Chains A and B, each alone.
Chain A
Amino acid sequence: MLSTSLLNEFKTLLGKDNVMDSESDRHAYSYDAAVLDSVVPELVLRPTTSEQLGRTVALCNENKLPMTVRGAGTNLSGGTIPTKEHGVVILTNGMNKILEINEEDLYAVVQPGAVTAKFAAEVAKRGLFYPPDPGSQAVSTLGGNVAENAGGLRGLKYGVTKDYVMGVNFWNAEGEYIKSGGKTVKCVTGLNIAQLMVGSEGTLGVFDEIILKLVPPPVASKAMLAEFDDINKASETVAAIIANKIVPCTLELLDNATINYVEDFTKAGLPRDAAAILLIEVDGGHIALVDDDAEKVVEICKKHGAKRVQMAKDAAEKNKLWEARRNALPALARARPTTVLEDATVPRSQIPAMIKAINDIGVKYKLQIGTFGHAGDGNLHPTILTDKRDKEEFHRVELAVDEIFDVALSLGGTLSGEHGIGTAKSKWLEKETTKATIIYSRRLKKAVDPNYLLNPGKIIGG
């Protein structure tokens, strides 16, 4: 139990409403979006200013309380589930301001709790563009996006969160202020600590301000939907589009199982017998260029054996083409009680091999798996449909997930394209890297967080 004097100190610092210690409040912060056991924190704190945040971190450190920073709690690898002993959750949604959008120098400064989609909309209002668009963007926070190096549908052409982080200012474990990066395109002052923070999952510091790069938006776009009776043909098409020097802004794939789940759900007339659907969107700075690219893409699709290609003529038609992709997760999620959403990623040429392996694993462990994802960057979402209450079936799910990772690694891929390692995947980390990599990472952490209080146990265990 926490001492009353410490509780009172937090209440004086943050205000009573921002110190949550009731049983019902604490249970509401015991989970995130990963299918993992929940852990109830001992205390939930919500600072509303930079100074409060720094003081909160210092107080937790002095009292040896492990801190887990939480934005919207949409993490898919358990990164925002608190630590078992005396865990404290630090909420960032009291610090959700967009501090600056600079149209001349093309950057923005935000607090960590600012919501991704709201920020992107605000940027769009000024005629600029913030491309990273993780699936949870309607609620996810930019602090969380940076801490997880979140991806999204636009990764192939526009990159992921790390490509937009220019600077991160944060509190270290002792509650001292660290500045890194800046507002200039070029900046080589000191170690590149800002990029070290990207994907650090809250283990190296507590973000206070983030400087993000903005770009001019594309002015035109065209969307197409292509159906294939062979997954290899779809994959060859993806390779051929890129070989032709066209980089689509989205290149999404739905496999046969996913097509059928979506069709069960929407009855929109999708081809149930198709092996795969590709949703392709090209964009650019001039409508004529975009039209050219779109026509070339249609040609390439046909040449590589697409059974049918549809091109959207206007916004309404484009919206309709997107419907199948938009409904992929909702359709899969409705099919069974528990949805295990993975994100094993392979080089894009290995997509057919990966999908075949996933389907074989599904048959082997008698599991329902639908796969969709970002074909352009090889980031697939094999989605296992199950019921976690069925212990025996869920054990088969765990075995299947192990095997999916083994295959992804054997194909030259990675454990996680965009969901993070958290606690869910830390046990496989050594397989992809080396023992020395983990020891190196732990030493790094020990050096900046000697008491091991910043989200301990995440990524590198220990």
Chain B
Amino acid sequence: MTEDLHQLAKMLHELDDQMVACMKCGMCQAVCPVFAETMKEGDVARGKIALLENLSHEMIADAEGVQNKLNMCLLCGSCAANCPSGVKVLDIFLKARVIVNTYMGLPAVKKVIFKGLLTKPALFNTVLDLASKFQGVFTKTASEVIGSSCSRIVNAPIIGERHFMPLAKKPLRKLEPSLNTRPGKGGYRVAFFPGCVIDKIYPQVGQAVLKALRHHEIGIYMPTGQCCCGIPALASGDKESFDKLVLRNLEIFEKENFDYLLTACATCTATMHELWPLMSGDKTQSMQDRIAAMAAKVMDVNQFMVDVVKVSMPVQGSGTKVTYHDPCHLKKSMKVFEQPRALLKTNPNVEFVEMADADRCCGCGGSFNLQHYDLSKEIGTQKRGNIVASGAQVVATGCPACMMQMSDMLSQHKDNVAVKHVMEIYAETL
């Protein structure tokens, strides 16, 4: 055991250069959504870095305790965006999760999901297609405005008290099979990566993106066989499954030429643009170059519409009050926050209103929501409060994961506020 711990410590040494940059000033406490709820130092970036350092210097024996603290994180990046000394907190945490996971092993249920399902997209799709047909047996509609569902039985496994978004009757890949079109007047040709949540839960978002692209006569490459961007596996420290997913996607998208690789999911965008190259250090130089070249093409669809297509300039419309939630992975990771607002304002039927703390994390954090639902809900409830206080009838955002979380929170409070993707609202004008 001590020998193992020594091995773990040695593996963590690779993070030393990045961790030493943390001057322990504690400014991360001001912005961490998890710390705001628990007020415990081990839950904030400074504390986690100190724990990792002490594990790396063999001052701590309880690796599992440190792993639990590491998982107590939304990976929202608020700390990194606010860090005076520019510590690359997410790089450290993701790499640390991989290292600690290699040492501790992956929980059985995640093994089944990542290794058995996620890396096999055909099987993954079949399982969820089947599930979509039978979900009505166990669930009922919770809110018509939001379109959410809840369990028919109390204390149902996994679902619990959640008001979740049901699987779409038909996923995007059935509504819009593969596409490979040439550009018209728009001049550009893009690849479109819908991502799992848009494909399976919000196909209408994917359809809105395609409608806009067609309207502007942009050539579209949307191949079949796309799989998950890899973030759920990486966030759980499963680098092997992550690598497989990156490689599969890379091979599919390398088959054709295009100017940009678009996604309408903030988390997919940040993962592909930043984490694919970040985690490729153990690959051959040529593989690293391939990944870097693909990552450089990745762009958020809002940014593409405003910065590249240069859609008509914003007007302040009137009618439906719409507010905007900044997904962490768009604002803090990709620095995209003006474009979605500009896009919303192009709709003459939209009266745009800002909510307080628009860039405060919604509390979803992917699997964080599954592991720490109570905490996720407390953070989400604050977001819900800000949405409602803005007086908006619609909350728009740029990430389907945020959409799911906000739908759950609003639906549980019986708020008549619809949750939409920015592209849905933009596409209404076309």
User: Contact: A24 with B42, CB < 8 Å?
Assistant: yes
Q: How far is the CB of B43 from chain A (nearest CB, A)?
A: 8
Q: Which residues of B are found within 8 Å of A117, using beta-carbon distances? A: 30
Q: Which of A383-419 contact B (CB under 8 A)?
A: 387-389
Q: Counting CB contacts under 8 A, is A121 at the interface?
A: no
User: Contact: A72 with B84, CB < 8 Å?
Assistant: no
Q: Which residues of A are found within 8 Å of B69, using beta-carbon distances? A: 24, 28
Number of interface residues of B (CB under 8 A): 30
A interface footprint on B30-67 (CB within 8 Å = 1, 0 otherwise): 10000000011110000100110010000111100110
Which among A33, A93, A334, A387 is the interface contact of B86 at CB below 8 angstroms? A334
- Most A Cβ at <10 Å: residue of B17, B42, B61, B68: B42
Q: Counting CB contacts under 8 A, is B29 at the interface?
A: yes
Kindly report which residue of chain B lies nearest to residue A118, judged by CB atoms: B30
Q: Counting CB contacts under 8 A, is A218 at the interface?
A: no
Q: Which of B372-391 contact A (CB under 8 A)?
A: none
Complex CA–CA separation, A112 to B51 (angstroms)? 27
Q: Knowing A24-B68, A333-B85, A388-B20 are in contact, say whether A138-B50 is a contact too (CB < 8 A).
A: no
Kindly report which residue of chain B lies nearest to residue A389, judged by CB atoms: B20
- Most A Cβ at <10 Å: residue of B21, B23, B24, B25: B25
Q: Which residues of B are found within 8 Å of A333, using beta-carbon distances? A: 21, 23, 84-86
Q: Knowing A38-B50, A333-B84 are in contact, say whether A24-B27 is a contact too (CB < 8 A).
A: no
User: Contact: B20 with A93, CB < 8 Å?
Assistant: no
Kindly report which residue of chain A lies nearest to residue B64, judged by CB atoms: A24
User: Contact: B26 with A28, CB < 8 Å?
Assistant: no
Q: Knowing A27-B50, A27-B54 are in contact, say whether A138-B30 is a contact too (CB < 8 A).
A: yes
If over half of A's interface residues share one DSSP class (helix, strand or loop), that class is named, otherwise mixed; here it is: loop
Q: How far is the CB of B19 from chain A (nearest CB, A)?
A: 9
Q: Counting CB contacts under 8 A, is A136 at the interface?
A: yes
Complex CA–CA separation, A46 to B41 (angstroms)? 12
Q: How far is the CB of A94 from chain B (nearest CB, A)?
A: 7
Q: Knowing A93-B39, A94-B39, A330-B86 are in contact, say whether A27-B59 is a contact too (CB < 8 A).
A: yes
Complex CA–CA separation, A385 to B30 (angstroms)? 25
User: Contact: A31 with B24, CB < 8 Å?
Assistant: yes
User: Contact: B50 with A22, CB < 8 Å?
Assistant: no
Q: Knowing A23-B62, A27-B50 are in contact, say whether A139-B26 is a contact too (CB < 8 A).
A: yes
Q: Counting CB contacts under 8 A, is A174 at the interface?
A: no
Which among B17, B29, B60 is the interface contact of A23 at CB below 8 angstroms? B60
User: Contact: A33 with B29, CB < 8 Å?
Assistant: no
Complex CA–CA separation, A33 to B68 (angstroms)? 24
User: Contact: A23 with B65, CB < 8 Å?
Assistant: yes
User: Contact: A22 with B41, CB < 8 Å?
Assistant: no
Q: How far is the CB of A47 from chain B (nearest CB, A)?
A: 13
User: Contact: B23 with A338, CB < 8 Å?
Assistant: yes
User: Contact: A33 with B26, CB < 8 Å?
Assistant: yes
User: Contact: B59 with A74, CB < 8 Å?
Assistant: no
Q: Knowing A23-B65, A27-B54 are in contact, say whether A72-B26 is a contact too (CB < 8 A).
A: yes
Complex CA–CA separation, A72 to B25 (angstroms)? 10
User: Contact: B42 with A32, CB < 8 Å?
Assistant: no
Q: How far is the CB of A261 from chain B (nearest CB, A)?
A: 12
Q: Counting CB contacts under 8 A, is A329 at the interface?
A: yes
Q: How far is the CB of B244 from chain A (nearest CB, A)?
A: 32
Q: How far is the CB of A239 from chain B (nearest CB, A)?
A: 31
User: Contact: A139 with B30, CB < 8 Å?
Assistant: yes
Q: Which residues of B are found within 8 Å of A25, using beta-carbon distances? A: 40, 42, 65
Q: Which of A33-90 contact B (CB under 8 A)?
A: 33, 35, 38, 40, 46, 72-74
Q: Counting CB contacts under 8 A, is A30 at the interface?
A: yes
Q: Which residues of A are found within 8 Å of B27, using beta-carbon distances? A: 136, 138-139
Complex CA–CA separation, A388 to B19 (angstroms)? 12
Q: Counting CB contacts under 8 A, is A29 at the interface?
A: yes
List 15 interface pairs A-B (beta carbons < 8 Å), by A numbering.
Answer: A24-B62, A24-B65, A25-B42, A28-B41, A28-B51, A30-B50, A31-B24, A33-B24, A33-B26, A38-B50, A73-B26, A333-B21, A333-B23, A334-B85, A338-B20
8 shortest A-B CB distances, which residue pairs?
Answer: A24-B65, A333-B85, A28-B42, A28-B47, A28-B41, A138-B30, A337-B20, A23-B62
